Chains A and B, each alone.
Chain A
Amino acid sequence: MTPIPLPSDPGRDPDSEPEEAAGVAADQNRGGVVQARDLSLTFQTADGPVFALSGVDLEIDQGEFVSFIGPSGCGKTTLLRVIADLEQPTGGTLSVNGVPPHEARLSRDYGYVFQAPALYPWRNIERNVTLPLEIMGISAAERREKAREYLDLVNLGGFEKKFPWQLSGGMQQRASIARALCFDPALLLMDEPFGALDEIVRDHLNEQLLRLWAKTQKTVVFVTHSIPEAVFLSTKIVVMSPRPGRIIDVIPTDFPRDRTLDTRETPAFLEVAHRVREGLRAGHSYDD
């Protein structure tokens, strides 16, 4: 099992593909939670094709916390949406939990947290959190129990009967995380969940998220454009670059998992942050 995938090379030799693919097939069932090989997605627009993703190779293992970081337009959200089967790739192979993304979605293998809380305003917090359970046909009693359990987990105990507008933005996003977790998916996909929140709330939620991750042992894929956030949270940082959207570096963070906000002052942290920044700079084209 190779925890660190090869950085993608847009100019790679297609002949090298078969051996790799064979290796992937062999350990597909036990291997990574997410495995992408030469994944690409091209949108056909009126202005010509847009290469949202090109030659993406990626492997995410069980229990990892992986961040996608890059400037806007680098395809990080698109990649997450492809993993979630909300977009269809136009080339390459991808498996999620050992099956194609479509099957993974049908068997509800992942919970998705969007940029906005996307709570339904006519449902109270409890009924928002248990929406997926309702769709899966879980009994009302069990739903109530799960709501309590997961609202406690995100420190929203006691807010069951409140409506979304009665909660702050940070609380709403926590509720949406509880909603993504309540049916216990193995994989948590988060698309800039704290992007709209202020720095202080964001730091706080980052700490909470780390604790949550330690407690639940989920695999987390996290999209962000904040370097400190990515370094602070991740076990592995995937640096992406636009036009075409591609992976330019994959950086493991080998400092310990029990991090606090003070971790951000340590040399190890700064070193990784520096490497991420270098990667972003290298991938950025200044021709525009």
Chain B
Amino acid sequence: MTIDAHAGPLPGPGLVARMFSGRSGPIAVVALAIVALWYAGALYLNAPGQIDAFKRAKTEWGVSDFVKGALAQKRPVLPAPHQVLVEMKETILDQRITSKRSLVFHSWVTLSSTVLGFAIGTALGIFLAVGIVHVGTLEKSLMPWIISSQTIPILAIAPMVVVVLGAIGLKGLVPKAIISTYLCFFPVTIGMVKGLRSPDPLQMDLMQTYSASAWQTFWKLRWPSSMPFLFTSLKVGIAISLVGAIVGELPTGAQAGLGARLLAGSYYGQTIQIWSALLTAAILAGAMVALVGVIERLVVRAMGGQR
């Protein structure tokens, strides 16, 4: 390098090369592919309706008329991406966030029960895992129930949770959070059982040579060892908590929340509304998983880095 130094700076890699050496390039490619497929799908699925409309109106139509029409229907079978984005702009940016037409408002309603359910589910999951790891009989007695709990479709359980809790006076936030909890505790339990058992035999023997108490072994060895497992579980857990909260809003006829928006949209055939609620939910889930990832990175750094 020093020999060539007088020849001036080497040309850096091009923008595209740099994008593809990181993550942004591949992500952009996939996003573009999805958008392209989406447009193609919208044209294809909306075609029969659009052709009918042209027939009823008895107008002559060309390709450009067709494309313009198919991508601008009021109630398309599949709304085009830009229709969804326009709807999202109107309902997120152009509304007061306290308005019932604001997706920010509905997102907040869903998010609050997601976070509550996630918190309870995480606590429950860790609690169960600690019990299972320390008490042999708990593994045999609890594990089959924990696993079978997840084989029951959440859609079947959700209305019953809402009805039962409603009968004892719990309405609104809590029943939805309980449904999130029901989904969220599972990955946390499974992950943490594995995590709390992850210390290698020598690390465990070491604690024994110090005649450390079970409590000390837990806090100084098992708990820190389980952190990578915990964060993997939390990423699954937070996303699944959002699903739980949305599902919890469906059978209640809730007035607010992303689930309520989905339901209202399907009642009135407002496909654009449905898709904007869906996309918002997806963005929300992505943001929450990313947030957990950021916390994970901070924790990993505090725990010495290299993992």
Contact = CB atoms under 8 A, between A and B. Distances in A.
Interface string A160-180: 000111000000000000000
B307 to A, nearest CB: 7
A121 B307 contact: yes
B224 A163 contact: no
A237 interface: no
Nearest to B224: A122
A213 interface: no
Contact of B216 (A120, A135, A165): A135
Given A114-B205, A114-B206, A116-B202, A121 B211 contact: no
B208 A86 contact: yes
B305 A86 contact: no
Given A120-B221, A131-B220, A135-B220, A105 B208 contact: yes
A115 B202 CA distance: 9
Interface string B236-267: 00000000000000000000000000000000
Interface in B159-209: 200, 202-203, 205-209
Nearest to A185: B209
Contact of A118 (B202, B212, B227, B303): B202
B207, B211, B306 — which one has the most chain A CB atoms within 10 A of its CB? Answer: B211
B211 A163 contact: no
A78 to B, nearest CB: 13
Contacts of B8: none
Contacts, number: 58
Nearest to B227: A122
Interface in A26-49: none
Nearest to B300: A122
A162 B230 CA distance: 25
B153 interface: no
Contacts of A136: 210
Given A122-B304, A123-B304, A163-B304, A135 B212 contact: yes
Contacts of B305: 163, 165
Interface string B115-156: 000000000000000000000000000000000000000000
A106 interface: yes
Contacts of A164: 304
Contacts of A135: 207, 210, 212, 216, 220
A132 interface: yes
Contacts of B212: 135
B304 A121 contact: yes
A134 interface: yes
A84 B224 contact: no
A106 B216 CA distance: 15
Which of the four size classes fits the interface of chain A? 20 to 34
A108 interface: yes
B306 A165 contact: yes
A85 B209 CA distance: 8
A232 interface: no
A114 B202 contact: yes
A282 B156 CA distance: 73
Contacts of A132: 210
A106 B202 contact: no
Given A121-B307, A122-B304, A108 B206 contact: no
A17 B139 CA distance: 47
A116 B304 CA distance: 19
Contacts of B211: 105-106, 108
Interface in A93-126: 105-106, 108, 110-112, 114-116, 118, 120-124
A165 B305 CA distance: 9
A134 B220 contact: yes
B210 A120 contact: no
A255 B91 CA distance: 90
A128 to B, nearest CB: 10
A136 B211 CA distance: 9
A105 B210 CA distance: 7
Contacts of B202: 114-116, 118
Contacts of B207: 135
A122 B220 CA distance: 10
Contacts of B200: 118
Contacts of B205: 86, 112, 114, 118
A245 B224 CA distance: 38
A112 B210 CA distance: 9
A120 B203 contact: yes
A163 B206 contact: no
A116 B221 CA distance: 17
Given A106-B211, A108-B211, A131-B220, A118 B304 contact: no
Given A121-B303, A122-B303, A135-B216, 15 more contacts: A86-B208, A105-B211, A112-B209, A114-B202, A114-B206, A116-B202, A118-B202, A120-B203, A120-B221, A120-B224, A132-B210, A134-B220, A135-B212, A135-B220, A165-B305
25 contacts: A84-B209, A85-B208, A105-B211, A111-B209, A112-B205, A112-B209, A114-B202, A114-B205, A118-B200, A118-B202, A120-B203, A120-B221, A121-B304, A121-B307, A122-B224, A122-B227, A122-B303, A131-B220, A135-B207, A135-B210, A135-B220, A136-B210, A163-B304, A164-B304, A165-B304
